[in-house]
Structures are given as structure tokens and as C-alpha cells.
Structure 1
Amino acid sequence: MADYVGSDLRALRATQGLGQADMAARLGISVSYLSQLENDLRPLTAAVAARLVEAFPLDWSDRGLTPGRRAVSLAHLLGDPLFDGLDDPKRALKLLERQPALAERIAQLHASWRAMQERRSMDDEALADSAVAGGRLPWERIRDWFHEAGNYIHPLDMAAEALASELSGDPPREADLLAYLEARHGVTLQEAGEAAGEGILRSFDPGTRRLTLGRALPPETRRFTLANQIALLSFGTIIADIASASKLPSAEERNLLEAGLANYGASALLMPYERFRARARAFRHDIDRLRESFATSFEQTCHRLSTLQRPGALGVPFFFCRVDMAGNITKRHSATRLQFARFGGACPLWIVHEAVAIPDRVLVQLAEMPDGVRYVSMAKGLVKPSGSYARPPRRYAVALGCEAEHAGAFVYADGMDVRGTATPIGGTCRLCPRPDCDQRAFPPTERPISVDPHLRRFVPYRVL
């Protein structure tokens, strides 16, 4: 079936602000050939489709599995390292284009395979770590629930975006959020006293409708906490319906989910989807520019970028995590093929661990997982003040990254050769298959080891 995409090519070129000569150069074709494609005088070929995916991975791949985009979707699918053994990927792509029903079934099977691999990884980690041999903890169940939901909650995101349009200011100030709380919900703010403000972010009395914020909260945290209260009061029915439909087995887990959904609603309210997505792309995902534009914290901004997975309006697929001083991953989500360790520590070669020890400095890294997929990572160490010498400040690092194919849309990859030498990392030592890692803490659970009493290396065993 011939695939004519003239109007879409013209729209893409206009969105990118490119002339025909620049567009043709990006695709490695002549201007006359591009003109013929744009005027539907020639159909899109598999070779040009593959170049479109490579040159514009977000804009051209974000168009779904309609018949007119089948070549693009297949080119992206065949880029998975799973298909690295193909002798001639271009020929395979051309053959699949002639069998659209078969191609769509292969795409469905590939998606199912990836989901199965993720589930197997979760099960393997649970079995490998004796501390959780009895099953996942409630906190882990909620993290996995958000992961399986794609970290995008459509009804809540849409409701928050609609409410954001009613608020004054872009971004709304603390006074605007307080005015909304008082006018719509009859809530007034009461500043915490010396004792009452220790160790809390927010305290709400439903009877008196008084809200108390903790002492010494940074301005960004105060705004987020107010937005969290708005989400609880304005989106309560939506949150309750989602929690009820989750089929989580205990009230404790449903309460944890509702708390997480309220945080999601607060983030979506302060960083409305379409407005945030547009600026993120315009700023090439520069966190400091985005946080200044939306008056949010570095962590809040990174986390929101990992949620931009609305069907038909996708953002760059990012992974996001937060790591504490002990190496525990306290927040995580990945819209990429990289999956974090759910139990045990993360790979010590990953740059996020160095960032914990060096606050307020951005570090970047090109890393490669055992499956051959490369990632560009940005990590920054942060310190949250406690407001008292008697209470140690909270120290941790956040990391944000994407697959190397999206490096052009990620300002932190500027100057980086994504085809150059990459740091070999893994998920967690218990599951990492790399046989020659000097940083290994544990042998992999599914690989035998050999110990030579006459030879001592950095690691006292050899992975077979």
C-alpha cells in the first residue's frame, strides 16, 4: 500500500522552522525529491521513513500506528537491540511494509514481550532479595502501580489542566493559590508556631478549614504544598474513583495511592500539560529554565517531565529517579527501556551516586545497559534545609535521562558524542550479566561463578 505523507511532511517542516534545503539535508535526499514527497507525487519509502525517525524521533514517531505511519513505527521497532541479528534490517522493513496485518501483529507481540520482560525483572528481583522474600511492601506496590500506569493519569491530568486555566498568574503565585483555596473551599492559612512546624509539610483541620504549613519551607515547596491541598479538595472524587478501581488489597495501600495521586494532581496543576510540554520542547528540556518559568523546584520539574505520556501529545520519554545518601532509590519512573532495580542498590557506576556527594552541580553521562541501549543522563545533588541545626538537612540526588536517539532534544547532551565510549552500567548486581565489572557487589543470581585460590582480582570470583 503506497504511503503518501505530503501534508504531514510540510507540517513537520513548518514546526521545525526548516526550509526545504535544510530539511532535505537532514534526510540525506535532494530538494526535488523532498518537493515530490511533500506534493504527494512520490510515496514515502522505508529508507526515508527510517531517516525521519532518526532525524525527528519525537515529532515523527508521535503519530500512532495508522496505516500511513506503519513504516515509521516499524523502523523504530526494528531499532530495538532485540533485532540486532537481522542481516538486512532495511530489507526486513520493506517486506513487513507489504504485510500490514503481520506488521501490526509483530508490533503487538513486541510490546507484550517488553511488558513480560519488565514483569519478569520485577519477580526476579523480589526473589533475589531475601529482605522482601515474603512479597512486595505496600510502598513498592504503589510505585509499581504508577509504573504500570505509565506515570500518566489521564482524568487527573485533564482536570488539573482545566483548573489551572482558572487560576490567576502564569505561573500562579502563592497568593493566587491561597485566594483560590479560600474562595472555592473556605480554607484559610495559619502559619505554624515554633513547635508545630517541626517536621511537617502540611496540616489541615477539616473542621475549622485551617491549613498550616511547616516552618522553613522553600517558596517552591510552599506552592506545591498549597497545590497539593487544592488537589485533595478539588479532585477528591477523581482520586477516590481511581483508588477504588485499582483493586489494591488493603486500605493502607489505597491510602498511599491517594496520597501519590494528590501529589500528581499538584504537579499537573502547577505545570499544566500542554503549556509545560511546549516550553519543555522550546527550552530543550533545560531544567533551570523550566523551573524558573513555572516557579517550581528542580526535583518537581524533573519529575513532571517523566509524566508527559498523554496519547497523541507525547513528550520525550524520560526516566527519572531520586537517590538518597545510602544509595536507596526513593522515587523512580521510566518511560524508556531502562528499568530501575526495585530491590537492592543501583549500579555504582551510574553518575547519580557521584551527584549525591556534590550538591548543586549538574553532572552528565553517556551510559550503556547490557542490552546495548544507550542513555544520556543528567544528575544533580540537592540539599533540603531542615530549618534547625538539631535536624540534619535532607541530602539526595535526582537523575533524568533519555535514550540516546533523543539526545538532540536534550540540552544536557550538547557536545556529547552519543556514538563514542559509554560507561557500561547495569540495573542491579544481582541481575546484571556483565562478567568483567570491577565494581560488582554481588554475583548475578542466574550465572555460575568460579573462584581460583591462586589468583586474586578486584572481585574475588569470576562470572561464567
Structure 2
Amino acid sequence: MVDGALFAGPALRRLRRREGLSQSAMAARLAISPSYLNLIERNQRPVSARVIVQVADQFDFDPRLLREDETIGGVDGLARRLSDERFADLAIDRDELNEFLAAAPHAAAAFARLYDNAAPAALRDDPIIAVRREIERWRNHFADLDTAAEALADELRLSRGDTGAALTERLRERHQIAVRILPNDVLPDTLRRLDLHARQLQLNEMLDPASRTFQVAIQIAALEFRSAIANLAAAPQFADPSARGLFERHLTAYVAAALVMPYGRFLRACEGTGYDLAVLGRRFGVGFEQLAHRLTTLQRVGQRGLPFFMARIDRAGQVSKRYAGASGAAWLDGDASCPLWLAHRAFERTGELCVHPVLVDGAGGAPAHWLTMARTVNGRGGARFVVALGVEAHMAADIAAARGISLRAEDATRIGQGCARCHVPNCVQRSLPPHGAVLQFPALEQGVTPFRFGG
């Protein structure tokens, strides 16, 4: 898949063989030339929309089956699995992954299935991991939900006034539910409560204005998009009911964000301001974490935004939230992050945007070059986190955060994926050796790190 083009040669070749047709016969059925079909089957040409329609019409074939790579999360899903330290010596890059998926998608799917099934049972059954993989499969872009939410935002004229007031009025008029702000001692452990008897959406007074608006949007999403959300959440057939609940919660928040930041207007604002985070937050009345979430979703066909990743980190370096979107940031898929990443020092700079170009050491191949941005956010009950955003450096030259920042690879800080997955040698911050490395103990010298290792 390149820039929205669909390469599905192996799928069409299997269909042709299943039907017992020569290339000439199938080409005639599809109203294209045999030479063109040959190029499509060898993935030298993408499948056009007209050909997809012909395939569906002539062979009663579900065109969604042409997107075989999506079942494993595409190139990004394969890259995540191959970032395992067991493959570090193979130096597999994204070009090879693209070739693998294009030439042998079923073999790639078989590898992904074997890898996933080899994981410990506790990980395979973990509902959080299951939901994360489903979000990854969609690249955190749910087109039907986005389109419907944008239509509702247009109907409510959310771009022309106070979003919070307009959403509150929608709740009152459409659902006969009033919004009431209650003292913290009445809702000590609750941000939002729907009291159907009193016909009230009750919000904790400790919520700031942006969070109040977002909670009202979440309630509207839960009421008016219930069927669409339930259908999407049922499709993966999660083994654990908790996973379905988590996925529904994610989709409900997704709709809320799409109401408050409608796709077309939000993308135009991103491009018009150079993705200026401060301006976008003020213009749409959202907090930094809400904004970061939304930036990972901009993958509408024909209207794509920059492919950002987003991660939320606590003081111990644990990643409590991560959305790779379409960024390809497989290095986020771990339980820890590198202490050399400036995101950790953002805790000492409350409210300041910390911008940091990094080279991320991966499982073989050249380090990936990213521009990252991070700042503190306040969580529930006084908790504090850092939310980090990132985009590949070669795409970042025109964004506001890059002004005055060198995007040359030689000026970036080299970081890893957490010590247990990092093979950067002689790192003074190293606290653990990388998994699978052979430790070395030279008798005549002591290095700057207690762990010297080979391949």
C-alpha cells in the first residue's frame, strides 16, 4: 500500500486460479488487457477502483479481501513483530517488509500468526494488548465514525460558536438531559455520571472547561452513535469481554474527538498553522492530550494529515497509552522507554513543550529519525503524566515545533527502546543488558557501563 494505492496481485492471482482462468480469460472478464492484469498480479501496478468494482461484480468477490495485509496491521504491524530482539541481527528494513507483504501476504500473515501464538498466554489474552492491536489494524482511523461525527458537527454549527454550549444544548433538546456541575465531595471518585432518573449529566467541578466539553461530547457519542460503535466493537470477536468494553470506550472517545475537532476543519487548521499545537488547542478548546489523540487519526483517503504517533508516560518511564496511527513507530511497542529521551525531563518543565529530534535504535538497519514533542498533562486525582508526539523528521520541516531546530540526523540524540530492547553500546544510562546479548567480561579493563556485550 503506497499513498493510498492498493497492490493486491497475489489475491487476484489466487482468485484467477480458483476460477480456473487464464490471464487472458480473466482480463476479458475484467475488461482490461492481459498485459495490464499481468502487471497487477506482479504488484507492478495498483488495482484501480474500476477493476475492484469489476472483480466484485464478475466473481461475487468481497473486495475487502484484497486488503490482506490489514489483518496483521500492514507494514507497521509486521515491523512491530520484527522489532523483537531475536531478529536484531537480520537488519530487516521497511523496504524488505513492503516487498514481503506485496509478494507473499499469506506467508507474512502466517509468520504474524506464529509470532503472536508464541507469546505467553497471559499476553495473548491480555485485553489491553488485544485492543491495541485492533486499533493498530485500523491505524486509529475509523472513517465511518469520522464522517458521521463531522456531519453532526456541521448540523450543530460547532465551528461558529461555543462548542460546549452547542453540545450541551444538543443534549437538552434531543435527549432531555441537562448538564449539572456538582461539587467534588459529591462526586469524589467520578468525572461524569449520567443520572437518568433526574435526566442529568453530572460533571465533577474539578474538570477544566475543555474537559467538561469533552465529557459532554462523550455522552452524545454514547447516545447517538451507540449502534455504529457496537457493530465495530463486535467485529473482532474478542475472546475477553473486557477487550470489547475497552474498544467501545476507545471508539466513543474517538467520536467525541471527531465532534469537537471535525475532520475537515481540523486538518485545514493543522495545515494552515503548521501544526502549531498551542494555536490548535486554543482554537478547538481542547487539552494537549485530547489534541495529541486526534493528531494520530488523520488518515482519511484523499485528505491525509501528517502521520503522528502519541504516547503517554509516567514518572517511572512506563508507557500507559500509545497510538502509532500510520506513523510506523514500532519502537513504542514496549513497556519502558529510553531515559535519554527528553520526554522524561518534561516532568521538570511543567507546561513547557519540549522538542527533541531523536535517532531511535531499532532491530537492525539504520536508526529511525524522528522529531518528538512532549509536555506535562494532569490526570485524574492529581496524577501527572507526559504526553509525547512524534513525526518522522523528513516530514517535519514545515511544522511550527521545528522552527529553529536542526533536523539533520547527525544533530539528533540517539536513543533506544528501553534498555532490555536496546543494543546501543557504551550507554552511560544503561540499567539492563539487552535480551539475547552475550555479555563480555574483559579482565584488564572496566567500561563506562557495567554491561559490555556482543551479538
Normalising by the residue count of structure 1, what TM-score does the alignment of the two structures yield? 0.72
The equivalent of 1:354 in structure 2 is 345
Cα pair 1:243 1:254 within 8 Å, conserved: yes
CA distance in 1 between partners of 2:280 and 2:236 (Å): 33
Deviates more, 1:309-318 or 1:235-244: 309-318
CA distance in 2 between partners of 1:325 and 1:416 (Å): 26
1:418 aligns with 2:380: no
Question: Any idea what SS the aligned residue of 1:396 has?
Answer: strand
Deviation of residue 438 (structure 1)? 2.1
2:378 alignment partner, one of 371, 383, 389? 383
CA 1:166–1:151 in structure 2 vs 1: closer, same or farther (change >3 Å)? same
Amino acid at match of 1:104: Q
1:144 alignment partner, one of 133, 139, 142? 133
CA 1:244–1:109 in structure 2 vs 1: closer, same or farther (change >3 Å)? closer
1:162 aligns with 2:157: no
CA 1:196–1:123 in structure 2 vs 1: closer, same or farther (change >3 Å)? farther
CA distance in 1 between partners of 2:344 and 2:184 (Å): 35
Cα pair 2:123 2:129 within 8 Å, conserved: no
The equivalent of 1:104 in structure 2 is 44
Alignment of 1:136-285 (within 5 A): 136=124, 137-170=126-159, 172-285=162-275
CA distance in 2 between partners of 1:123 and 1:248 (Å): 28
Amino acid at match of 1:178: T
Q: Deviations over 1:135-158 (max 9, x none)?
A: 252223222221221011111111
Q: Deviations over 1:4-30 (max 9, x none)?
A: xxxxxxxxxxxxxxxxxxxxxxxxxxx
CA distance in 2 between partners of 1:187 and 1:418 (Å): 51
How many corresponding residue pairs? Answer: 363
Deviates more, 1:163-172 or 1:280-289: 163-172
Cα pair 2:275 2:399 within 8 Å, conserved: yes
The equivalent of 1:337 in structure 2 is 328
Question: Any idea what SS the aligned residue of 2:338 has?
Answer: coil
Any stretches of 5+ residues in structure 1 without a counterpart? 1-60, 67-98
By relative contact order (CA 8 Å, sep 6+), the higher-ranking structure is 2
1:372 aligns with 2:367: yes
Amino acid at match of 1:435: P
CA 1:311–1:445 in structure 2 vs 1: closer, same or farther (change >3 Å)? same
Any stretches of 5+ residues in structure 2 without a counterpart? 8-38, 48-66, 88-114
1:306 alignment partner, one of 296, 303, 308? 296
Cα pair 1:367 1:425 within 8 Å, conserved: yes
CA distance in 2 between partners of 1:149 and 1:447 (Å): 34
Amino acid at match of 1:413: A
Deviates more, 1:344-353 or 1:109-118: 109-118
Amino acid at match of 1:221: S
The equivalent of 2:442 in structure 1 is 452
The equivalent of 2:122 in structure 1 is 134
Cα pair 1:161 1:273 within 8 Å, conserved: yes
Deviation of residue 106 (structure 1)? 11
Q: Deviations over 1:36-92 (max 9, x none)?
A: xxxxxxxxxxxxxxxxxxxxxxxxx856469xxxxxxxxxxxxxxxxxxxxxxxxxx
The equivalent of 1:328 in structure 2 is 318
Normalising by the residue count of structure 2, what TM-score does the alignment of the two structures yield? 0.73
CA distance in 2 between partners of 1:221 and 1:322 (Å): 17
CA distance in 1 between partners of 2:287 and 2:337 (Å): 24
Deviation of residue 383 (structure 1)? 3.3
Q: Identity of aligned pairs, percent?
A: 33
